[in-house]
Amino acid sequence: MKRTVYLISGPAGAGKSTTSRKIAEILEKSAYIEGDFINHMVVGGHEKPWLSETHLNLIWLNMLSLTRNYLVNDYDVIIDYYVTYSDKTNYMLEALKDFNIDIKFIVLLVDKDELLRRDSQRPVEDQMGERCIIGLNEIIASNPPERHIMNTTQTDIEQVVDDILRNPKYLLNPLS
Amino acid sequence: MKRTVYLISGPAGAGKSTTSRKIAEILEKSAYIEGDFINHMVVGGHEKPWLSETHLNLIWLNMLSLTRNYLVNDYDVIIDYYVTYSDKTNYMLEALKDFNIDIKFIVLLVDKDELLRRDSQRPVEDQMGERCIIGLNEIIASNPPERHIMNTTQTDIEQVVDDILRNPKYLLNPLS
């Protein structure tokens, strides 16, 4: 059976982890890779990935190694991370081109007010405040094609997940 | 600089994660790999690793891939998992023999009463009850050499960590 890698992107607060976990729970054989957790495996000498390209590259190398292992063992893979278009989408397309798989890329967006509302509902130590908006603006500025964007402000999670699973518009085209 | 991979084993409740995190925090460049977390990356089709050899092997393959990536990038690596002697210690020795590194193997043990006391202090949903003791007995039955065993019942965490970092007796000999 043809396997799928789902790249679930979006700013903090857009619902990446809830959505990713739901997708993983629906699929028969699935692995859910949380980029934030991979990031925090580094303890001594940890650097913020948005300040260190070396560290960011190591996170992606690790996510790629895990993805390859899961694909070889016939799992679908859901990667929940701040996937930027088109550098990281191209990195994954290139690195996984030997596998006969589909790669879907989804950018979850929510309106600014909703993003700040969700952020304010987190435990205080996890609140990001204005940094949510910076993330939102950066993702919009990276200019992902419209068909990969899903605004979830008014949409419930079941609909979001169903659309990601069924809708072929999220497929990334192979690199030519 | 010669890097070290620390394999931190022991039954649930022996202090693997606290000890591993402390070691990681002391080392200048370190990565802390929690086996339990790698285990739970699989969501759809998850099997308990003690009931499925395929699943257990996949966990080890993933921990190995991550370890290799970290070593290439010059990190010490701490693996916190139920590492059995000598199958998994040999697996790591063999798989990492191309690296000029040290591998330390430590089995943390505590007395049964203390193990049950610690278990009773966890949140109810995380309590393992008698399964702690089954784990303890299995590890003793796998017969790790005495020098790799550290009974932490009476020892405080700083001493445990210091001993693991400094004492060469925990080194695994290279496979010949």
A66 touches chain B (CB under 8 A): yes
Instruction: Give the tokens for residue B137.
Output: 């007995």
B69 touches chain A (CB under 8 A): yes
Report, at the CATH architecture level, how domain B3-170 is classified: 3-Layer(aba) Sandwich (3.40)
The per-residue pLDDT for B8 is 97
Count the neighbouring beta carbons within 10 Å of the beta carbon of residue B111: 13
Q: Do B37 and A32 touch (CB under 8 A)?
A: no
B4 near B102, Cβ under 8 Å? yes
Shortest CA gap B110–chain A (Å) = 26
**How many angstroms separate the CA atoms of A10 and A110, rounded?**
9
**How many angstroms separate the CA atoms of B110 and B154, rounded?**
9
The per-residue pLDDT for A38 is 97
**For all residues of chain A together, what is the average pLDDT?**
93
**How many angstroms separate the CA atoms of B39 and B59, rounded?**
6
Shortest CA gap A50–chain B (Å) = 18
Q: Which of B21, B43, B165 is the best substitution to test chain A (most A C-beta atoms within 10 A)?
A: B43
Give B 117-146 residues with CB within 8 A of chain A: none
What pLDDT digit, counting tens, does each position of A37-50 carry? 999 999 999 999 88
What pLDDT digit, counting tens, does each position of B138-170 carry? 888 889 999 999 999 888 999 999 999 999 999
**How many angstroms separate the CA atoms of A78 and A32, rounded?**
5
- Measured between CA atoms, the residue of chain B closest to residue A71 is B58
The per-residue pLDDT for A140 is 86
The position carrying tokens 């009476």 is: B154
**How many angstroms separate the CA atoms of B87 and A6, rounded?**
35
B66 touches chain A (CB under 8 A): yes
Q: Do A61 and B41 touch (CB under 8 A)?
A: no
**How many angstroms separate the CA atoms of B140 and A72, rounded?**
35
The position carrying tokens 């495996």 is: A41
Shortest CA gap A38–chain B (Å) = 9
Q: ipTM of the assembly?
A: 0.93
The structure's pTM equals 0.94
Residue spans of the domains in chain A: they are 3-170
Q: Give Cα separations from A76 to A28, A103, B45 (angstroms).
A: 8, 10, 11
**Partner residue facing A66 (CB), from B45, B54, B65:** B65
**How many angstroms separate the CA atoms of A31 and B14, rounded?**
28
Question: What single letter denotes the amino acid at residue A164?
Answer: I
A38-47, B32-41, B77-86, B127-136: range with lowest mean pLDDT: B127-136
What pLDDT digit, counting tens, does each position of B88-126 carry? 999 999 999 999 999 999 999 999 998 899 889 988 888
**How many angstroms separate the CA atoms of A20 and B112, rounded?**
40
A91 near A172, Cβ under 8 Å? no
Q: Do A44 and B76 touch (CB under 8 A)?
A: yes
**How many angstroms separate the CA atoms of A58 and A42, rounded?**
10
Instruction: Give the tokens for residue B158.
Output: 């700083």
pLDDT band at A17 (very low <50, low <70, confident <90, very high): very high
Show contacts of B35-40: CB within 8 Å, 24+ apart. Answer: B35/B59, B35/B63, B35/B79, B35/B80, B35/B81, B35/B82, B36/B80, B36/B81, B37/A37, B38/B62, B38/B63, B38/B66
The partner residues of B103 in beta bridges, in order of sequence, read B5
- Measured between CA atoms, the residue of chain A closest to residue B37 is A37
**How many angstroms separate the CA atoms of B148 and B169, rounded?**
7
**Alpha-carbon dihedral sign for residues B4, B78, B20, B129:** negative
A84 near A139, Cβ under 8 Å? yes
The per-residue pLDDT for B35 is 96
What pLDDT digit, counting tens, does each position of B54-72 carry? 999 999 999 999 999 999 9
Crossing angle between the packed helical segments A112-120 and A131-141, to the nearest 10 degrees: 140
Residues of B in contact with A76 (CB under 8 A): 44
Count the neighbouring beta carbons within 10 Å of the beta carbon of residue A99: 15
- Under DSSP, the state recorded for A41 is T
HSE-CB for A88 with a 13 A CA cutoff: 28
